[in-house]
Amino acid sequence: MFGDFAPGLVHFTDDALFGDAWQRPQLSARDRSLVTVAALTTGGNAEQLTFHLQYAKDNGVTEEELIEAITHLAFYAGWPKAFSAMAVAEQVFRTS
């Protein structure tokens, strides 16, 4: 995505984040996806959720579980963040 523009960021994303951090055996990819969706939702980073919601599905998290996780986060992260995340989830799930 940013290979020519920001090769360092792409390198760290591919090698350190998805290569090293995501491959650690202490958590499954499924659990890492749930944690990541929760962190992005609570941080208000809805723009990153498009990728990570689909990635979570690819890692075995169901749409129902992701919707429930976002609903649950409304009580802890705040309603506006949960609504923003749910809007992204609806877009991702209705087009996939």
Query: For the segment 5-41, what is each residue's pLDDT rounded down to a tens digit?
Result: 999 999 999 999 999 999 999 999 999 999 999 999 9
pLDDT at residue number 29: 97
Q: Does residue 86 fall inside a structural domain?
A: yes
Domains: count for the chain:
1
Q: What CATH number does the domain containing 76 carry?
A: 1.20.1290.10
Q: Does residue 22 fall inside a structural domain?
A: no
* Mean pLDDT, all residues of the chain: 95
CA–CA separation, 50 and 56 (whole Å): 10
Q: Does residue 44 fall inside a structural domain?
A: yes
Structural domain boundaries, residue 80: 27-95
Q: Does residue 52 fall inside a structural domain?
A: yes
Q: Does residue 15 fall inside a structural domain?
A: no
CA–CA separation, 8 and 30 (whole Å): 27
Is the pLDDT assigned to residue 1 strictly greater than 80? no
Q: Does residue 37 fall inside a structural domain?
A: yes
pLDDT at residue number 41: 98
CA–CA separation, 21 and 56 (whole Å): 16
Is 0.75 topped by the overall pTM? yes
pLDDT mean over 50-69: 98
Q: Does residue 71 fall inside a structural domain?
A: yes
